Structure 1
């Protein structure tokens, strides 16, 4: 079995492609079980799906990669040509390194952002509940979380990072010079929307409302960071009242249609409407971008704002990469030791099976009246032949293939010099 990491991210695919391969945030357990049961040769799996990436980490036979890809395309109704153009594949230690970099925020759109560590932990917990974890991914995840903790504590990479939330508010300043005169409608009730609300408050936005499918969750978040809450179904009636709209839900379909924005635009008498869609799949119909006086930004459009802050953390990133190198080496040593223990257990089990079988034969012969002395001699002879049979074949094959390094290793290991 091999360790595989396969996926797409903001580095390889824009949001229009990423949303096709995004998995739902909730109820991922049946998907994980289907994956593990459907792809022959795959024994463990973790699915990481965020607004910036969709990745599958798994323990799998190398010949089964294409089966995994076809499962993904069937499940997400994607096209092979689209996926082949943007996917990346890492095996074994490179896969381990990739997971550690992702978990530490080194592969994030916002370099060093802490949210990704929590998202990887959530993905790990989902796999644990779905019972698709095993020794390989458990070991990898443990080392990835430890590496992320080391990066966070030993470098300044996470100090004052520009988040997607703050980048959205910074971009709003480009449309409205004074945010204190604006009102904002935030769609969703998750961590990102809460961060957006706090940034808007600090920017002086006079009125903030939260809209969510669950009114209970909207009320709960509004009590902390906003002035008003509503259901998603109410957006069409009040959209024209807001200057800034920022959306981040887990909906598989758009929650704000072009028609809804057209109606709001008329009610606003064509005053500018700033909208940011930071959801994947997208919450706002992309056609909204064609409307005059409506400024629609996606999560990909915020990259320029985020990149301005990256240079100040380059030195910390270099330190973090060194930590990852050490973490991969430590993981490799422990993985090798575990593989060695498993091999020893298999070898002992095989030897014990041979011993038990030969001992049973000897006891049966003894019960039949065979001479004990002859039995002991025969038992020793048969045991010796059975136990050295496989190693003898290995030596013969290595010799016939002129594999001197294998022969030298066997000679040294068995102290035959």
Structure 2
């Protein structure tokens, strides 16, 4: 099997392209099935394994197939998102085998993230693998690669300082707000959504003890549970537009495929606030807040890409740990590739074992018949050993005699390695 990874991330593609390539949680299983069926058809019915990782900073397809699937993956991804293939090629990476494994290990370890060492990506990758498994597209090779991936990520995080002093997206949101407002203690904060990212943001803002915090979510019950944890008010998302002007800081991270806050709602907010400044942080992909909102006076709107410089500056403090992490990853990549090579040999090993058993059985039966006739046991044993040796050596002798002179030396060396190398258990001193 050949492994491949095709995708885009915050380093290779602008936000508007990443938005178009993002998969919603609901659309991920459908996408996996469609991709599997497409690849199955293109490969003539050969087995194909797939998984899709889609986050605010990346959309990646991982695949295991008999032949290189990268061209087919790019074609499917472009068509499924109504993109020109040439545009996707321009902004994507297309990795095969060793490169794909190394990329997966680096992503899970936080080395390929906007926030160096951030831990959320590991959970997102586990979710992606779980979805692929539930959909029936994972398979043994890809499944083993991801299990190794998770083990490598755990090793990197437990033995290096890669995650130390990390400025997460949540912490960066707080820093942006503090750059506009002198004290968050006087601010009212609205968080939209109730997922993992909003939970992190809520914890960071709660530590600054703002005057008031509210969490708006489609499902009031889920929003209420998070609100209770951080001492915030819970509100329905449907009530948010009417109350938007109450808040000095708005942070949104939902899985909506359409904007939650449009330009019209933001304009009403600005008028009602009488030009008091408001910080809006959009951590969602696709975006929750229409980008045109940034043009309004007194609105400080930041997208995930706008946080890059802030988190990069902090990341420079951990570059020493990167070298250690990369060394661990490289060692584990080679280990996994060795496992794949060994696995590829299993069918041949089984065939050789079956052939050996057949020869043994035939010679043992012949020996039993000879003993039943009254032949000498010593003579029977010698004949059995001689016949087995001849069977094992016959093809080697034939190959040396029949190979053309140009390749005879190569065959001879192979025969020497196979039959003349001393090893334990064959009567040689060791």
If the length of structure 1 is used for normalisation, what is the TM-score? 0.85
Moved more, 18-27 or 164-173: 18-27
CA–CA separation in structure 1 for the residues paired with 2:226 and 2:293: 27
| Kept in 1: contact 2:192–2:254 (CA 8 A) | yes
Moved more, 257-266 or 63-72: 63-72
For residue 388 of structure 1, report the CA deviation from its aligned partner. Answer: 5.6
SS of 1:310's equivalent in the other structure is: helix
- 2:293 corresponds in structure 1 to 288
2:117 pairs with 1:112: yes
Q: How does 1:347-386 map to 2 (within 5 A)?
A: none
- 2:6 corresponds in structure 1 to 6
- 2:337 corresponds in structure 1 to 332
CA–CA separation in structure 2 for the residues paired with 1:103 and 1:395: 53
Larger Rg: 2
SS of 1:3's equivalent in the other structure is: strand
- 1:17 corresponds in structure 2 to 17
- 2:174 corresponds in structure 1 to 169
For residue 414 of structure 1, report the CA deviation from its aligned partner. Answer: 5.3
- 1:370 corresponds in structure 2 to none
- 2:254 corresponds in structure 1 to 249
- In the alignment, which of 250, 264, 270 is matched to residue 269 of structure 2? 264
2:234 pairs with 1:229: yes
| Kept in 1: contact 2:399–2:411 (CA 8 A) | no
Q: 1:112 to 1:236 in 2, by over 3 A?
A: same
For residue 409 of structure 1, report the CA deviation from its aligned partner. Answer: 2.7
| Kept in 2: contact 1:194–1:225 (CA 8 A) | no
| Kept in 2: contact 1:197–1:226 (CA 8 A) | no
| Runs of 5+ consecutive residues of structure 1 not aligned to the other structure | 359-379
Give per-residue Cα distances to partners, 1:251-274, cap 9 Å, x unaligned.
111111110001111111111111
- 1:197 corresponds in structure 2 to 202
CA–CA separation in structure 2 for the residues paired with 1:277 and 1:401: 67
For residue 104 of structure 1, report the CA deviation from its aligned partner. Answer: 0.8
CA–CA separation in structure 2 for the residues paired with 1:183 and 1:209: 8
| Kept in 2: contact 1:210–1:226 (CA 8 A) | no
| Kept in 1: contact 2:4–2:69 (CA 8 A) | no
CA–CA separation in structure 1 for the residues paired with 2:198 and 2:210: 15
CA–CA separation in structure 2 for the residues paired with 1:71 and 1:127: 17
Moved more, 333-342 or 308-317: 333-342
Q: 1:130 to 1:404 in 2, by over 3 A?
A: farther
- 2:153 corresponds in structure 1 to 148
- 1:365 corresponds in structure 2 to none
RMSD between superposed Cα atoms in Å: 2.8
SS of 1:129's equivalent in the other structure is: helix
For residue 158 of structure 1, report the CA deviation from its aligned partner. Answer: 1.3
- 1:210 corresponds in structure 2 to 215
- 2:91 corresponds in structure 1 to 86
For residue 204 of structure 1, report the CA deviation from its aligned partner. Answer: 2.6
Q: 1:11 to 1:395 in 2, by over 3 A?
A: farther
CA–CA separation in structure 1 for the residues paired with 2:297 and 2:398: 80
- In the alignment, which of 70, 79, 84 is matched to residue 75 of structure 2? 70
For residue 307 of structure 1, report the CA deviation from its aligned partner. Answer: 1.2
For residue 300 of structure 1, report the CA deviation from its aligned partner. Answer: 0.6
Q: 1:395 to 1:143 in 2, by over 3 A?
A: farther
Give per-residue Cα distances to partners, 1:128-168, cap 9 Å, x unaligned.
11111222112211211111111111111112310001001
Give per-residue Cα distances to partners, 1:106-144, cap 9 Å, x unaligned.
111111111111111111111111111222112211211
| Kept in 1: contact 2:400–2:411 (CA 8 A) | no
Q: 1:399 to 1:107 in 2, by over 3 A?
A: farther
- 1:29 corresponds in structure 2 to 29
- 1:371 corresponds in structure 2 to none
Q: 1:393 to 1:213 in 2, by over 3 A?
A: farther
SS of 1:245's equivalent in the other structure is: strand
SS of 2:281's equivalent in the other structure is: strand
Q: 1:394 to 1:109 in 2, by over 3 A?
A: farther
CA–CA separation in structure 2 for the residues paired with 1:135 and 1:5: 17
CA–CA separation in structure 2 for the residues paired with 1:68 and 1:100: 20
